[in-house]
Amino acid sequence: MFTFIRRNFRWLAGGFMLTYFSSFGQTYFISASVSEWQSAFGLSHGEFGRLYMFATLASALCLPFVGRLVDVVPAHRMIALVIPVLAVATLLAGYASSVPVLVVAIFMLRLFGQGMMTHIALTSTGRWFVAARGRAISLVVLGHQGGEAMIPLAFSMFAIAYGFRVGWVAAAIALLVVGLPFAYWSYREPRVPHGQPSTEMSTLPDVRNWTRREVLHDPIFWVLLTGVLAPAFIGTTIFYHQNYLTALHDWPPQFFAMSLVVMALTTVGCALLAGAAIDRFGATSVLPYFLLPLSAACFALAYSGPEVTLLIVMVLLGISYGISSTLFGSLWPEIYGLANLGAVRSVTVAAAVLATAAGPGLTGTLIDQGMALPRQMVYIGFYCLFAAGAMTIASVLLRRR
């Protein structure tokens, strides 16, 4: 592993940097300012949830068009566009003077942060690594866990000391001073030039390169989405309602942010194990398992308990996230090839963003209607069990195909 990292440090570190700084567009970071925005603009849980859903939905609709650019525009040039726009979005979010401005800021954060930063990293890694794709992606996605563990805590410290707006300014500075130059340098030289055969590829069976139109007409693709969307929907729902959950269960206000460290550490270990398993057995062999701990996390959150309940939930989330983050980066090139990977992944990323949009909006509305989130988690847990069965069937069909 250390030899692999040393030989490929440039590209692995660049991907890590992109996923790390995608945190500024992730729900677990944005939700830390929800109470301030609700207070400033007089919004309820349901009203802000619908606002958040609208902005995220708009970003998801744009992703298939913007995301396919990574198939024709070099990755470092995409980085030179995406990171500065994301920095502007953080400043808009911190100093939004009205609800429309806040909606635009959240739209940009979701499209260029959660969407494009991760999309560039995983598409490039999936294209540049073949025989060791699982291992490479398992290292790149650790940026998400690093961001979950460090960035919300750092933002909390800035917000407590100087106010939440200063935290958003610090985010913009970090993006422009650290993220932009390092990621641009890392990706300026592709590991495997486009159009040239890789020595890794010669050792593996050929995979037919599907077009996006063909993928959208593949029934198995839609079956896979029933599982792919679950972590995005559930994780976003839990992170978005962190203030609601801590108040509901009488947990300490900063305990949720600290529990993210537990989830991040668990995710790191499981992502590395999943990467090794995918390289050895294939991504389709791992499909049936990643939703089982997610289902258990939903059932655990359905019942009121002491602080340790949240830690158990975060461990279970970490197991599922560790497997799924590596799995989703490896699955699509393994099934549908590399030539149109950016276009194919843009659809799956857009679908995942749609799920993150639906989570806060739907659950927030149900909370306003009197259905507490723990009760909703029971139904979501059963959905995960159903989707795990669908993943098992899809895995068998893909291996036969």
Question: Residue 335: what pLDDT?
Answer: 87
Better-predicted residue by pLDDT, 260 or 392: 392
- Residue 202: which pLDDT band, with cuts at 50, 70 and 90? very low
Supply the pLDDT for residue 33.
Answer: 87
Over 60: is that where the pLDDT of 195 sits? no
Condensed to tens digits (0 to 9), the pLDDT of residues 76-124 reads 999 999 999 999 999 999 999 999 999 999 999 999 998 899 999 989 9
Confidence of residue 158 (pLDDT cuts 50, 70, 90): confident
Res 2 pLDDT > 50? yes
Percent of the chain with pLDDT over 70: 95
Confidence at residue 205, expressed as pLDDT on a 0 to 100 scale: 53
- Helices and strands in the chain: count of H runs, count of E runs: 21, 0
Residue 354 has pLDDT above 60, yes or no: yes
pLDDT confidence band for 296 (50 / 70 / 90): very high
326, pLDDT greater than 70: yes
**Domain residue spans of the chain:** 8-194+202-400
- The pLDDT, as a whole number, for residue 192 is 59
DSSP 108-171: HIIIIIIIIIHHHHHHHHHHH-STTHHHHHHHHTHHHHHHHHHHHHHHHHHHHHH-HHHHHHHH
- Identify the top-confidence range among 9-13, 356-360, 366-370: 9-13
Residue 178 clears pLDDT 80, i.e. is over it: yes
Structure tokens of 8? 């490929």
Residue type, 268: V
d(CA 87, CA 343): 25
- Sequence-distant (6+) residues with CB within 8 A of 226 are 387, 390, 391
pLDDT exceeds 80 at position 133: yes
Confidence of residue 180 (pLDDT cuts 50, 70, 90): very high
Q: What is the mean pLDDT of residues 192-196?
A: 43
Q: Does residue 197 surpass a pLDDT of 70? A: no
CATH dotted code for 8-194+202-400: 1.20.1250.20
Mean pLDDT of 267-276: 87
- Range 383-401 average pLDDT: 90
Q: How many residues does the chain have?
A: 401
- When the pLDDT of each residue in the chain is averaged and rounded to a whole number, the result is 86
Q: Name residues whose C-beta falls within 8 Å of residue 182's C-beta, 6 or more positions apart in sequence.
A: 13, 14, 17
Most confident of 17-26, 197-206, 273-282: 17-26
